[in-house]
Structure 1
């Protein structure tokens, strides 16, 4: 108690402060013992969760986190290559169509606009088609993560699969429907191990710790008989 007080306040406690710390500890110990006599710890989710955490911390303190060898890292990297793939990047243009404004004519309007955009003889201008939206019309080298945050995952995944160099669609977003022209796509690359060795080493260590925790749990589980209810579909 004195050490903790000193670390917090950068000075030792006075006699009265030390007495107050001791009195508070006695009060805590008394209530804990009486609560356990009454079984108040038995069905408390927070207490059960905290006890589980303390057991897991105890297991973690026994874990010997040795440095990985080159072969350890190579094997882990080879097993989890997509974990390190860089994010896809895309450049594209789009024309937006608002379902609320278009109503029943939405489908016909979209198809008419697509026909005009794909037929140079019609002289269609991207800016003269579609409906207003509080997003840019042209996007350059934008990451998949950014697009998911702005347009949603459905739109982004469909966008990455579109043919390049021509107008396609419609594809749907959280806002409505879009005609798109993908100018370029880089779907991400897996870097060389030497370029991300520190990251792979960290992930390998975390994986080893999880395995250690699972093994410790299994050893404990083997000492018990677990009766599970029969679950009906």
Structure 2
């Protein structure tokens, strides 16, 4: 009790009280992010136009600007945490930049790295920026509590996405390819194959070379389109397809194809076990994306974001 009656202790306690009072009344300024310069906004608009073939709406532009400001904030936070000092990719990039500027003659890599830091080359390099943003995102995710999807989560998603998870029809086919410069003999060759009831292997000798190959097993329409083009798939599906029969010729962007239909697996509903890994990955990805959005939103409270 004697300690509490001493004047010097009163001054100390009063000093702490005044310190925290003034911090509450007049808090230190938060670091700021933004606004984006006009050239950066124009660059975002050009990127959108290149991807979408049209200019972004006002709402879409606002979204892109907000996302870009978040990237700037994550980069600034990574620099504040000195993440650039512990990343080997950043180190090698800065050394490369010093060499490119021809400032590294007769210097060790450590000396070049230190020169780059003194010159603050890490602040203006887009590769370094992307790397540190990724590192910052991983750091934020490491602090989040992510759990493996439960059995009930997987079952609920399976029921909800039944239509999206349907297994597409699959085709096992072989084909004989006739390039455009052989269209004049197409009818004669096709007739010979059908009359002589040639096997796909025998018939292939009468056709042209086809780089993607000749036998395609259990392929979806999307997979076939990667090899033959979408026009081929559309024309094939318009045929009356029966297993163990020739159909065609079927036109593609490359030429004509006489197609042997080996087998057809019809479209069907998926079974839970065959899509369980896909559903689990999707749920984990959604959880990570939401956790990152929440973490960025919380970090945003520590910054003054100027739009």
TM-score between both structures, scaled by the size of structure 1:
0.58
Q: Does 1:46 align with 2:46?
A: no
CA distance in 2: counterparts of 1:140 and 1:152, whole angstroms = 11
How has the CA–CA distance of structure 1 residues 212 and 71 changed in structure 2, closer, same or farther, with 3 Å as cutoff?
Answer: same
Kindly indicate whether the alpha-carbon contact (under 8 Å) linking 1:35 and 1:41 is maintained by their aligned counterparts in 2.
Answer: yes
2:178 aligned partner: 97
Q: Does 1:204 align with 2:244?
A: no
Counterparts of 1:76-115 in structure 2, within 5 Å, are 76-81=157-162, 85-86=166-167, 88-100=169-181, 102=182, 106=183, 109-110=185-186
Q: Does 1:184 align with 2:263?
A: yes
1:167 aligned partner: 247
CA distance in 2: counterparts of 1:188 and 1:226, whole angstroms = 52
CA distance in 2: counterparts of 1:186 and 1:78, whole angstroms = 23
CA distance in 1: counterparts of 2:214 and 2:240, whole angstroms = 17
1:41 counterpart SS class: helix
CA distance in 2: counterparts of 1:136 and 1:47, whole angstroms = 39
Q: How many angstroms does 1:55 deviate by?
A: 0.8
Cα RMSD (Å):
4.2
Aligned pair count?
189
How has the CA–CA distance of structure 1 residues 66 and 93 changed in structure 2, closer, same or farther, with 3 Å as cutoff?
Answer: closer
1:61 aligned partner: 142
How has the CA–CA distance of structure 1 residues 184 and 198 changed in structure 2, closer, same or farther, with 3 Å as cutoff?
Answer: closer
Kindly indicate whether the alpha-carbon contact (under 8 Å) linking 1:87 and 1:187 is maintained by their aligned counterparts in 2.
Answer: yes
How has the CA–CA distance of structure 1 residues 225 and 99 changed in structure 2, closer, same or farther, with 3 Å as cutoff?
Answer: same
Which stretch has the larger CA shift, 134-143 or 162-171? 134-143
Gaps of 5+ in 1: 1-26, 228-233
1:92 counterpart SS class: strand
Which has the greater radius of gyration?
2
How has the CA–CA distance of structure 1 residues 152 and 219 changed in structure 2, closer, same or farther, with 3 Å as cutoff?
Answer: farther
Gaps of 5+ in 2: 1-108
Kindly indicate whether the alpha-carbon contact (under 8 Å) linking 2:239 and 2:247 is maintained by their aligned counterparts in 1.
Answer: no
Kindly indicate whether the alpha-carbon contact (under 8 Å) linking 1:85 and 1:191 is maintained by their aligned counterparts in 2.
Answer: yes
Which stretch has the larger CA shift, 80-89 or 189-198? 80-89
CA distance in 1: counterparts of 2:137 and 2:292, whole angstroms = 7
Kindly indicate whether the alpha-carbon contact (under 8 Å) linking 2:168 and 2:267 is maintained by their aligned counterparts in 1.
Answer: yes
CA distance in 1: counterparts of 2:173 and 2:149, whole angstroms = 43
CA distance in 1: counterparts of 2:294 and 2:160, whole angstroms = 21
CA distance in 1: counterparts of 2:300 and 2:257, whole angstroms = 54
CA distance in 2: counterparts of 1:29 and 1:185, whole angstroms = 65
